[in-house]
Every structure is written in structure tokens, then in C-alpha cells.
Amino acid sequence: KKAADDFYKKFRVNSYINDKSAEEDQPVISMSDQVSGAGYGNNSYGKASLSYLALKDMLGDDLFKKALHHYMNTWNGKHPIPWDYFNSMNTGSGQNLNWFFQNWFFTNHYLDLALSNPQISSGKVTFVIKNVGGFAIPFDILVTDTEGKTETIHKTPAVWKVNQKELTMTINTNRKIKSITLDNGIYVDATPNDNVFVVK
């Protein structure tokens, strides 16, 4: 899996997130004749595939597969438009995913989280995760103690459903914290320096 993720980041994500040109940030829903060059390829393949993987992370393998098969069976041999995909995935999953599709397909968001305002007290650590770029992405929180042990806490895109700008996290722990890190995985962060807090 690591090799596949590394290849995907190199092939689909790194060039996009390191390209600050405006054409890279056109909404995925943009008509293909309105986007050119790298922006065209990124909208057609890069960001679109990231959205599918984010949705799979949120729904889980089984429900995502069920919803995707509903879409494929409904529109096999026909000519679906994006809204047919959205509606089919809603029906197939039994959930209203409009907030997710709005976030991924109709905005000029990008990939960028930031760790902010960490506060460590007896028995818990509290911090804010800011969604600077705006996309509803999954991420891991890595909490490392002074003995070098790391706890990984996974969060799906569902955490962005209510507030897509920021969320406050509280982790209960009796360990002495050395660092907290946000790991976006294949959703390569535009500014990774603000994803790490080291206790001094």
C-alpha cells in the first residue's frame, strides 16, 4: 500500500499541490473547454480521483462499493452527467452527501490543514485543526510521547460536515506528550510546516 500511495502522490498530487497557478484551482465541475494545460488534467484525473478516495474513506469500503455499483448499474450504457453521479451515490449509500459533493466539485479549494492553539494539561491535550485549503479530506493525528511511542488517530472527511473551516480536538491521555503531527497521507499538504507541534 505504501508503494502505491507514494506512486499516486508522485504521479497525481505533488505537481498539483506545488503549482500555485490559478488554473490548478478551478472547480472540478468546470466545463472542460474552460480549463487548459495542467489544470485540465488535474480536474479530470487528480482532484476527481482524490474526491473518490476521500468518499471511500468516509463511507467505508463496503458502503462505497454498494453506492458505486448502484451508480454503475443505473447508468450503464447511458450518458450520465455529474448530477447523475451525485444523486446515484446519495441513493446507493442511503445518505445525503450533497455537502461533500459541493465541497469537492463546486469550489476552488485545495489541500492544506494546519495545527493551531495546542494546549496540554493533566490528562488531555486540546488543539484546533484549521482547514486552510478547504477540501474535506481524511487525515491522521500522530501523538508521540517522550518515550517514543506514537498513537495514530484516523479521522474521515465526515469531521468536516458541520464546520468545513476548523474543528477542535481533545485527546485524553496520561502520557507525557512530545509532539502532535497531522498526516494527510496522499492528500499532500500545501504547507506541511504548520502540521507539527513539538512540546518544548
Domains (ranges, CATH) in the chain?
A: 2-105 (no CATH), 114-198 (2.60.40)
Per-residue pLDDT tens digits for 67-84: 999 999 999 999 999 999
Query: What phi and psi values does residue 145 have, to the nearest 5 degrees?
Result: -95, 175
Q: Residue 126 — very low, low, confident or very high, per pLDDT cuts 50/70/90?
A: very high
Classify residue 10 as exposed, middle or buried by CB count within 10 Å of its CB (0-12, 13-18, 19+). exposed
Side chain identity at residue 50, one-letter code: L
Laid out side by side, the sheet with 114-121 consists of 114-121, 124-130, 166-172
Given a cut of 80, whether residue 96 has pLDDT beyond it is yes
Q: What is the pLDDT of residue 152?
A: 97
Question: Residue 47 and residue 44: Cα distance in Å, rounded?
Answer: 7
Give the relative orientation of helices 47-59 and 61-75 as an angle to the nearest 10 degrees.
120
pLDDT category, 1, cuts 50, 70, 90? Answer: confident
pLDDT(25) > 90: no
Rounded CA-CA distance 2/6 in Å is: 6
Q: What is the mean pLDDT of the chain?
A: 93
How much is the pLDDT for 87?
98
pTM above 0.85, yes or no: yes
Distances (CA, A) of 199 to 6, 24, 64, 106, 143: 29, 36, 39, 39, 11
